[in-house]
């Protein structure tokens, strides 16, 4: 059969680092091993019943069997605006400052194509969500990384960016609570970001995927809560984590009107909006009972405490995350993140994600997901203790 070569754009896309890990885990499972998979970010809880019930009801409505409006139903945009007002005290124009997305990932990949020309500079956190790089590649943009270091609480140090870089930069990605580090941002940091972006004409895109997950009584901040943020940027929110709706592929972008307009223009050429029943269910999630969100946050905090307390009892000097459903753990001295991840998989049948997969400055750490039961986390600690590589 004749082979048709892919385009230069496809060839420029970053390799999926974790695909090989998933394959290796599958091989261990096929051999009959009991693998505890802590390496992926797929929520393990079901979507709350009242949201599922709304989908079932809406799916039976013939009006939802037709094409939805290109830019989505206004009732879902209004639900997103009402959600932001209720949760964060942020006022949004539902018609002009909200764009419905096919999941948060889609928006993050689309936004560089909306605002950048080939060769334009974008600032990206390192370590960071790997799919940021996909949008950079598709836009043929130039990427400058912002190191996230433990000594700076995994916040970028803007003092490391030269005037030349700042003058060339048109877009910046941020993500708090952070994947993979579990760090959270302060109001002071966001204020500094707004000032920097305003002075240098940089659009800020804040990935707020884990906005509902904060620990120790601390509620994660929305970027838009900071004065002036809406003038220079947007925030991308997904229902995947807050409501366990990862497979539903629904989210939204909110903020600067011109950026929202650009997203909707691009999506007009790619899609004909989401299935109407999913839009109805998403609106129910945002405006309906929120007890499920509180309970989910408590679940992740309990799991975090089980894991971190257990690992610390072994002598592993680890720090508890402040948000998200990930823990970012230092690897033992003398080992790379990939070497340590391989040891865990080979000797204990635990999968973790090597930090190097999230960028150069992810080296020296592994990411662990809090996405399995208490019992499995306790078992993971027991298996790690058998390695006897940590000193109490």
Give tens-digit pLDDT for 57-79: 999 999 999 999 999 999 999 99
Q: Which segment of 11-15, 122-126, 289-293 scores lowest on mean pLDDT?
A: 11-15
Q: Are residues 232 and 313 in the same domain?
A: no
DSSP string, 50-102: HHHHHHHHHHT-GGGGSPPPTT--HHHHHHHHHHHHHHH-----TTTSEEEES
- Residue 3: inside a domain, yes or no? no
User: Quick one: tokens of 52?
Assistant: 């599922």
Domain count, the chain: 2
How large a percentage of the chain has pLDDT more than 90? 88
Q: Are residues 164 and 298 in the same domain?
A: no
Q: Are residues 115 and 240 in the same domain?
A: yes
Please tell me whether residues 55 and 27 are part of one structural domain. Answer: no
Residue 392 lies in a domain: no
pLDDT at 392: 61
Q: Are 113 and 205 in contact (CB under 8 A)?
A: no
Q: Is the pLDDT of residue 24 over 90?
A: no
With 80 as the cut, is the pLDDT of residue 2 above it? yes
Q: Is residue 391 part of a domain?
A: no
**Do residues 164 and 224 both lie within one domain?**
yes
Q: Residue 42 sits in which domain range?
A: 8-46+292-385
Shared domain check, 336 and 188: no
User: What local confidence, expressed as pLDDT, does residue 122 receive?
Assistant: 98
Last residue of a domain, one of 261, 287, 313: 287
When computed from its CA atoms, the radius of gyration of the chain, rounded to whole angstroms, is: 21
| 238 in any annotated domain | yes
pLDDT tens for 140-190 read 999 999 999 999 999 999 999 999 999 999 999 999 999 999 999 999 999
Q: Are residues 342 and 374 in the same domain?
A: yes
Residue 304, domain CATH: 3.90.1150.10
Same-domain pairing of 215 and 304: no
């Amino acid at each position: 059969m004749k082979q048709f070569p892919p385009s230069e754009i496809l060839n420029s896309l970053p390799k999926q680092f974790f695909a090989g890990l998933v394959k290796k885990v599958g091989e261990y499972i096929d051999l009959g091993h009991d693998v505890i998979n802590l390496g992926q970010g797929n929520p393990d809880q079901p979507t709350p019943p009242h949201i599922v019930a709304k989908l079932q009801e809406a799916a039976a409505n013939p009006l939802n069997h037709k094409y939805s409006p290109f830019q989505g139903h206004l009732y879902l945009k209004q639900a997103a605006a009402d959600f932001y007002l209720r949760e964060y005290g942020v006022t949004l124009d539902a018609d002009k400052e909200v764009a419905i997305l096919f999941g948060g990932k889609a928006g993050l990949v689309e936004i560089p194509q909306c605002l950048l020309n080939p060769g334009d500079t974008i600032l990206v956190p390192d370590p960071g969500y790997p799919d940021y790089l996909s949008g950079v590649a598709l836009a043929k943009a130039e990427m400058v990384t912002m190191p996230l270091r433990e000594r700076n609480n995994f916040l970028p140090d803007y003092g490391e960016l030269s005037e030349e870089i700042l003058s060339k930069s048109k877009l910046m990605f941020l993500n708090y609570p952070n994947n993979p580090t579990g760090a959270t941002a302060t109001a002071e940091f966001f204020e500094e970001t707004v000032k920097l972006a305003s002075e240098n004409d940089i659009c800020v895109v804040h990935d707020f995927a884990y906005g509902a997950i904060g620990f120790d009584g601390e509620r994660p901040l929305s970027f838009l809560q900071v004065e002036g943020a809406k003038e220079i940027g947007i925030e991308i929110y997904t229902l995947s984590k807050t409501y366990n709706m990862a497979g539903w592929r629904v989210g939204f972008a909110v903020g600067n009107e011109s950026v929202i307009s650009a997203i909707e223009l691009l999506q007009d050429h790619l899609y004909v909006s989401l299935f109407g029943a999913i839009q109805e269910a998403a609106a129910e999630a945002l405006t309906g009972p929120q007890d499920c969100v509180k309970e989910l946050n408590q679940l992740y905090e309990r799991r975090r405490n089980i894991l971190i307390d257990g690992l610390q009892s072994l002598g592993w000097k680890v720090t508890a995350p402040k948000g998200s459903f990930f823990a970012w753990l230092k690897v033992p001295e003398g080992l790379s993140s990939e070497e340590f991840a391989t040891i865990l998989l080979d000797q204990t049948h635990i999968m973790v994600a090597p930090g190097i997969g999230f960028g150069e400055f992810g080296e020296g750490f592994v990411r662990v997901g809090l996405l399995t039961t208490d019992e499995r986390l306790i078992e993971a600690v027991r298996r790690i203790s058998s390695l006897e590589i940590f000193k109490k």
